[in-house]
């Protein structure tokens, strides 16, 4: 006999677990299945990345009871400053004191640990790790997953949240547009002499953007996370540089704005690419997060795009359940598809366009870029639009992104 749940979620990463908690907050049950060892993904060295959780995404975390667990452990972003190289003119997006910070920087391992702890205490979540599906079936009646150990689960809906290489997406035959940027992101946390004052910097170079993201101080002083985009062929060499040489190169990229640097973490890297699915639903299936779309980290919107999927899908399912509908009903899934298709495509296209525009070498492209930055800074409505995008507050917002329960 199969164990029953309202939803089966394949993938227990940041997006999959957030969806489970959003459903739990509204009384819907889920089984979350992930092949990874919990001790491994929660280990200090597993993921050295940090994420900027936009204000709208943070409102959702507050609405589902996760934000209180994170209180005081993230660094508020007071301003985002964008520049073409180290040109003196920058485009600044400053937080309105009445609206709160533009977002909050968290270490990914902190987010992961917090979500695991919340899921362990939730009444309607069964987190199975490590657990690997031996078979997955979907038909007009239900979705069914049988594990390698013989346990079986059934639900009206299956959610694919396994990330960029989602086997569930592949099995559904969903077409994906994808390409590589032939670039690598170097990730590290650096300590520095001067305070960052909550300012995030996006410095564009022809070789790729250099992002400097404020983090909470450690016992040695101020620190920031960096996402340094380099050509793929240079990635191994950058990782292999002695600390002194790496810090010297990083200080050049920053123009010395934060003074002397120190290493505050190990370095890591990951390849950069783009993918976007032709659709995000199939028979009794919905895709969320990187299973549906993967974008360049140029604007720090990857995780937030996944959280927007979570908020929309949770609202569709909770309202459907209240009406007594089958949670795998094609009309419910079509509503989710319509809600997310345009927004995710526009964000993906914008980040891809920015990546290509700022990667063009030469005087003419540089002049166009600097003219564009100057125009945005001089036109308040345009600047407000970019601010709303940074906060994740554009389009028809699901209730959770407004900080409301469904």
Q: Which pair of structure tokens corresponds to residue 383?
A: 């600047």
For residue 356, the model assigns a pLDDT of 65
Q: CATH number of the domain that 61 lies in?
A: 3.50.50.60
205 pLDDT band, cuts 50/70/90, is confident
Q: Does residue 184 register a pLDDT over 70?
A: yes
Please give the Cα distance from 178 to 176 (Å, whole number).
6
Is residue 22 domain-resident? yes
Contacts of 193 (CB under 8 A, 6+ apart): 221, 222, 258, 259, 260, 261
Out of 3-7, 193-197, 395-399, which region has the weakest mean confidence (pLDDT)? 395-399
* Cα distance between residue 67 and residue 74, in whole Å: 10
Residue 194 lies in a domain: no
Residue 295 predicted with pLDDT over 70: yes
State residue 292's pLDDT score: 95
Q: Please give the share of the chain, as a percent, with pLDDT higher than 90.
A: 69
Question: What is the span of the domain harbouring residue 48?
Answer: 3-73+106-178+273-358+396-402
pLDDT higher at 129 or 361 = 129
Q: String of b and e for 278-304 (b: at least 16 CB within 10 Å)?
A: eebbbebbbbbbbbbbbbbbbbbbbbb
Per-residue pLDDT band for 394 (boundaries 50, 70, 90) equals: low
User: What pTM did the predictor assign?
Assistant: 0.91
Mode of pairing for the β-strands spanning 268-277 and 285-287: unpaired
Whether 204 maps to a domain, the answer reads: no
Question: Would you state the pLDDT for residue 317?
Answer: 98
How much is the average pLDDT of 305-332?
97
- Ranked by mean pLDDT, which of 43-57, 191-205, 336-350, 356-370 comes out on top? 191-205
In order, the DSSP letters of 42-103 are: TSTTS---EEEEEHHHHHHHHHTT-HHHHTTSSEEE-EEEEEETT-S--EEEEPPTTT--SE
Name the average pLDDT for the chain: 89
Question: What residues contact residue 147 under an 8 Å CB cut-off, 6+ apart?
Answer: 33, 128, 131, 132, 133, 134, 153
Position 116 in a domain:
yes
Q: How many helices and strands in the chain, by DSSP H and E?
A: 12, 22
Nearest to 46 by CA among 116, 110, 130, 106: 110
When pLDDT is averaged across residues 127-154 and rounded to a whole number, the result is: 96
pLDDT of residue 32: 98
pLDDT at 331 over 70: yes
The confidence score (pLDDT) of residue 43 equals 80
Domains of the chain: total: 1
Lowest mean pLDDT among 141-150, 157-166, 210-219, 365-374: 365-374
Does an H or E element contain 230, and which? strand 221-231
DSSP 193: S
E-strand spans in 165-207? 176-192, 199-205
Tens of pLDDT, residues 16-31: 999 999 999 999 999 9
Structure tokens at 285: 């299936």
- Residue 42: pLDDT above 70? yes
Residue 378 has pLDDT above 70, yes or no: no
Residue 154 contacts residue 33 (beta carbons within 8 Å): no
Q: Residue 164, class by beta-carbon neighbours within 10 Å (0-12 exposed, 13-18 middle, 19+ buried)?
A: middle
pLDDT computed for residue 358 by the predictor: 62
For residue 369, tell me if it sits in a domain: no
């Amino acid at each position: 006999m199969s164990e029953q749940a309202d939803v089966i979620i394949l993938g227990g990463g940041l997006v999959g677990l957030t969806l489970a908690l959003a459903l739990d907050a509204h009384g819907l049950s889920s089984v979350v299945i992930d092949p990874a060892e919990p001790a491994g993904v929660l280990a200090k060295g597993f993921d050295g990345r940090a994420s900027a959780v936009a204000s709208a995404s943070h409102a959702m975390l507050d609405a589902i009871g996760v934000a209180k667990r994170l209180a005081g452990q993230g660094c508020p972003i007071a301003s985002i400053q964008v520049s073409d190289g180290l040109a003196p003119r920058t485009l600044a997006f400053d937080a309105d004191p009445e609206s709160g910070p533009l977002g909050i920087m968290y270490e990914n391992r902190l987010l992961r640990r917090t979500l695991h702890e919340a899921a362990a205490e939730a009444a309607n979540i069964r987190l199975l790790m490590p657990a690997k599906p031996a078979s997955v079936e979907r038909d007009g009646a239900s979705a069914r997953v049988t594990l390698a150990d013989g346990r079986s689960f059934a639900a009206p809906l299956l959610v694919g949240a396994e990330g960029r290489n989602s086997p569930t997406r592949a099995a559904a035959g969903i077409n994906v547009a994808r390409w590589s940027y032939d670039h690598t992101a170097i990730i590290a946390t650096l300590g520095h002499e001067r305070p960052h004052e909550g300012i995030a910097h996006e410095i564009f170079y022809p070789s790729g953007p250099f992002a400097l993201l404020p983090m909470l101080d450690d016992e040695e002083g101020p620190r920031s996370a960096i996402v340094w985009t380099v050509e793929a062929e240079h990635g191994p060499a950058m990782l292999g540089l002695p600390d002194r040489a790496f810090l010297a190169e990083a200080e050049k990229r920053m123009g010395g704005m934060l003074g002397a640097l120190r290493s505050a973490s190990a370095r890591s890297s990951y390849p950069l690419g783009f993918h976007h699915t032709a659709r995000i639903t199939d028979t009794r299936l919905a895709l969320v997060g990187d299973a549906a779309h993967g974008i360049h980290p140029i604007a720090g919107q990857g995780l937030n795009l996944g959280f927007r999927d979570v908020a929309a899908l949770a609202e569709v399912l909770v309202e459907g359940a209240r009406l007594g509908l089958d949670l795998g009903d094609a009309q419910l899934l079509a509503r989710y598809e319509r809600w997310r298709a345009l927004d995710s495509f526009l964000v993906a296209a914008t980040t891809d366009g920015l990546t290509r525009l700022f990667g063009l070498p030469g005087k003419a492209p540089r002049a166009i870029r600097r003219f564009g930055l100057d125009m945005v800074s001089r036109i308040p409505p345009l600047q407000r639009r970019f601010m709303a995008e940074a906060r994740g507050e554009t389009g028809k917002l699901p209730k959770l992104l407004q900080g409301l329960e469904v």
